[in-house]
Amino acid sequence: MSNLDTHPTLSTCGGRAGVPGEPVRELLKSRDVQLGESTMVRRLLPSLGRRMIGAWCFVDHYGPDDIAAEPGMQVPPHPHLGLQTVSWLREGEVRHRDSLGSLATVRPGELGLMTSGRAISHSEESPVEHPPLLHGAQLWVALPDAHRAVDPHFEHHVELPVVTGGGLSATVIMGTLDGAASPGTAYTPLVGADLTLAAGADVRPPLEPDFEYAVMSMSGEAEVDGVPLTRGGLLYLGCSRSDLHIRSANGADLLLLGGEPFAEEIVMWWNFVARTGDEIVAARAQWETGTAFGAVHGYAGERLHAPTLPATPLRARGRVR
Ligand code: MN
């Protein structure tokens, strides 16, 4: 998915200074963002209160939306740089096309993982014939400096490990949880897991004390470390936890995101993750002139144009979290 803000602001994030060493409970609220003509998403990251969770730097949650009589998701070709996109669905289908020639239809329970490396472009759309409901999350993972220029590639994993017990069914989307590892290629220690809780579930999945974590609700209500969590909320949990107490009276579907605090400072603008404003300016020019990022074939429509750059210089202005 693309950041379709017409006036995106520059966001500086990363670095360990804003990461609490101890467990915390910070409940952050999503904000509604219009994505294209038909899709409204809840943006949970970056938020005013927090910019990253490990290497996770962008989280949009959408649906469930009834798109039976609508085209559904229609995100035209757009570029990415310095990140991975993680597509996770609970309902519906999303068709992915990219500048490498990949064509894949991602379905619930499957991982669509695109590593942009130095440059890629892609489109995402609901197929013409699609299921009536669309519900999912689009997440970005920042690539560390040592790997951010890797060759772009796309992975579609239809089988992911599932850890079960005590009313919890945890699908490991990225990284490792409780010894189960996702087949998706990761470049920093992290985890992304779907936690499906049965009614009456009372569980304590194990965590890595060196990671920072957050939990959001895709649907339903749960109590996470004693804090009530509903859809539209992201509970940031800090570090130094060896497990996490989660209960749900009526059942819920949560996403657990975590990772080693991202030590490098990054600069985010539109669909790019870089290290300097100059890199952003260059990437924007390359997309607009068609000199990098390749071309997506088969999407019925024009590619996206990059928004106008902010008038102020794209300069990192100190750490903001
Ligand atoms: Mn995208």
- pLDDT value of position 319: 42
Pick from 13, 313, 316, 321: nearest CA to 140? 13
**Rounded to 5 degrees, what angle do the CA atoms 199, 202, 204 make?**
140
Whole-number Å distance, alpha carbon 139 to ligand 1 midpoint, is 9
Whole-number Å distance, alpha carbon 272 to ligand 1 midpoint, is 10
pLDDT beyond 80 at 36:
no
Tokens coding 177: 């949880």
Taking the C-alpha atoms of residue 199 and residue 64, their distance in angstroms, rounded to an integer, is 20
CB atoms within 10 A of CB 203: 18
Taking the C-alpha atoms of residue 122 and residue 119, their distance in angstroms, rounded to an integer, is 10
* Sheet with 103-106, edge to edge strand ranges: 74-80, 120-125, 94-98, 103-106
Tokens coding 304: 């996206």
Whole-number Å distance, alpha carbon 189 to ligand 1 midpoint, is 23
Q: Which of 29-38, 85-94, 104-113, 307-316 has the lowest average pLDDT?
A: 307-316
**Rounded to 5 degrees, what angle do the CA atoms 288, 293, 296 make?**
95
265's CB contacts (< 8 A; 6+ apart) are 12, 13, 14, 15, 275, 316, 319
Whole-number Å distance, alpha carbon 222 to ligand 1 midpoint, is 30
* CA distances to 72, 108, 147, 294 from 92, in Å: 10, 7, 32, 28
Whole-number Å distance, alpha carbon 226 to ligand 1 midpoint, is 35
Whole-number Å distance, alpha carbon 79 to ligand 1 midpoint, is 7
Q: Tell me: the pLDDT tens digits for 251-287? A: 999 999 999 999 999 999 999 999 999 999 999 999 9
pLDDT band at 39 (very low <50, low <70, confident <90, very high): confident
- pTM for the model stands at 0.94
* More confident site: 38 or 171: 171
- With H, G, I as helix, E, B as strand and everything else as coil, classify residue 175: strand
Whole-number Å distance, alpha carbon 114 to ligand 1 midpoint, is 9
pLDDT beyond 60 at 302:
yes
- pLDDT value of position 318: 39
Average pLDDT on 32-49 reads 85
Q: Where are the domains of the chain?
A: 11-259
Q: Tell me: the pLDDT tens digits for 311-321? A: 765 655 434 44
Tokens coding 132: 């009536």
Q: What is the CATH number of domain 11-259?
A: 2.60.120.10
Taking the C-alpha atoms of residue 167 and residue 202, their distance in angstroms, rounded to an integer, is 7
Q: Which residues surround ligand 1, an ion (CB under 5 A)?
A: 1-2
pLDDT band at 8 (very low <50, low <70, confident <90, very high): confident
pLDDT band at 9 (very low <50, low <70, confident <90, very high): confident
Whole-number Å distance, alpha carbon 129 to ligand 1 midpoint, is 22
Taking the C-alpha atoms of residue 241 and residue 208, their distance in angstroms, rounded to an integer, is 7
